[in-house]
Amino acid sequence: MAADPASTVRDFVAAFAVADAAAMATVLDEGVVAHITNAAGGSDCIEGRDELLGRIGSVDYGAAELTIKVTNTVEPAPGQVLAMAEVHASAPSGDKLHNFAGHLCSVEDGRITEWWMVEALPAESDRFWAAVTAG
């Protein structure tokens, strides 16, 4: 029996927060389509689990203390979950990030088939992670 959709999304966000690619892979459909906020406030479309995990892995999230807390979830339609999350990160340089993100996911049989991620402050997030990765 598949996990309920909200638990699947919470598991994904928790795995993302600790950069656990194996755990993320268990809840991502092989053909997942992701729409991720970019620095300009638009979104980039990434197709396929391997491509998405490669994109996530291109940022060194482990180079900062990162916490992501899902603060609320709602299910606007069967198999669809909207999760709101609060993001805190601290770099070794002392730089800090405080942001919010919405994750709208379609879930089938315990796997995310589509993911829309929208950040409140995309340019600030991009600046922070670029500095941490370069750092």
Which domain CATH number covers 14? 3.10.450.50
- Per cent of the chain over pLDDT 90 is 80
Measured CA angle at 126 (ends 123, 129), to 5 deg: 150
| pLDDT confidence band for 1 (50 / 70 / 90) | very low
Average pLDDT on 27-45 reads: 94
- Residue 134's pLDDT is 79
- Cα separation, 2 vs 108, whole angstroms: 8
- Residue 23's pLDDT is 96
Average pLDDT on 113-120 reads: 96
Strand partners, 45: 35
Average pLDDT on 18-44 reads: 94
- Cα separation, 38 vs 41, whole angstroms: 5
Average pLDDT, the chain: 93
* pLDDT digits 0-9 by tens, 97-113: 999 999 999 999 999 99
- Per cent of the chain over pLDDT 70 is 98
Position 95 pLDDT exceeds 70: yes
User: Is-contact 88 73, C-beta < 8 A?
Assistant: no
- Residue 85's pLDDT is 97
Q: Can you tell me whether residue 78 is helix, strand or coil? A: coil
- Residue 61's pLDDT is 84
Position 2 pLDDT exceeds 70: no
- Cα separation, 35 vs 134, whole angstroms: 25
Q: Structural domain tally of the chain?
A: 1
- Cα separation, 38 vs 46, whole angstroms: 12
Q: Can you tell me whether residue 58 is helix, strand or coil? A: coil
Domain of 78 in residue numbering reads as 5-134
